[in-house]
């Protein structure tokens, strides 16, 4: 008789994600965060997400900061499709990928409310948070693959 071992790993179990309604272009939103809140987020190579219904891959804007590597900002909108279709009123997601205190998240919420054009901020919970964990896993996988390719190119082989 053999024993089966089951390994339950929940990626990003301690994350917090803010859903932000701010009807403006992504570069304008990031400019406000950098200028008004004194951060230094920059655009990364686009995040590719396969849309099951449309059977195609779409690019979504992704922003990170070297001084805040535990925070990622992802656009919910592409020219043609939404990253999370169930949240059609959301324009941006701000993901705190490492165990962030509720105090830090609350500080971000209050700071974001001061940006002109931000109309609503809410924190994802339950199934929506689980769905976003999958997105974060895919972002991390793409980033790892990109770094591996860059390393190969630098070696010349």
Domains in the chain: boundaries: 16-155
Collapse the DSSP code of 61 into the 3-class scheme (helix H, G, I; strand E, B; otherwise coil) and give the result: coil
- What confidence tens digit (pLDDT) does each residue in 39-97 have? 899 999 998 988 877 788 899 999 999 888 888 999 999 887 899 888 889 999 999 88
Strand 92-96 versus strand 56-60 pairing type: unpaired
Q: Mean pLDDT score of the chain, rounded to an integer?
A: 84
Q: Which residues, 6+ apart, have CB-to-CB distance to 31 below 8 Å? A: none
- What confidence tens digit (pLDDT) does each residue in 93-113 have? 999 887 667 888 888 899 999
């Amino acid at each position: 008789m053999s024993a089966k071992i089951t390994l339950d790993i929940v990626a990003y179990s301690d994350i917090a994600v803010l859903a932000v309604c701010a009807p403006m272009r992504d570069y304008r939103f990031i400019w406000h965060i950098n200028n008004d809140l004194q951060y230094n987020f920059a655009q990364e190579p686009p995040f590719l997400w396969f849309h099951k219904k449309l059977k195609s891959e779409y690019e979504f804007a992704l922003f990170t900061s070297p001084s805040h590597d535990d925070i990622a900002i992802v656009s919910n909108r592409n020219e043609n499709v939404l990253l999370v279709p169930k949240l059609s009123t959301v324009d941006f997601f701000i993901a705190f990928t490492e165990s962030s205190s509720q105090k830090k998240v609350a500080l971000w919420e209050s700071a974001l409310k001061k940006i002109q054009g931000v109309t609503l901020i809410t924190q994802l919970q339950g199934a929506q948070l689980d769905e976003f964990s999958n997105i974060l896993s895919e972002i991390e996988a793409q980033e790892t693959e990109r770094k591996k390719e860059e390393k190969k190119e630098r070696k010349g082989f």
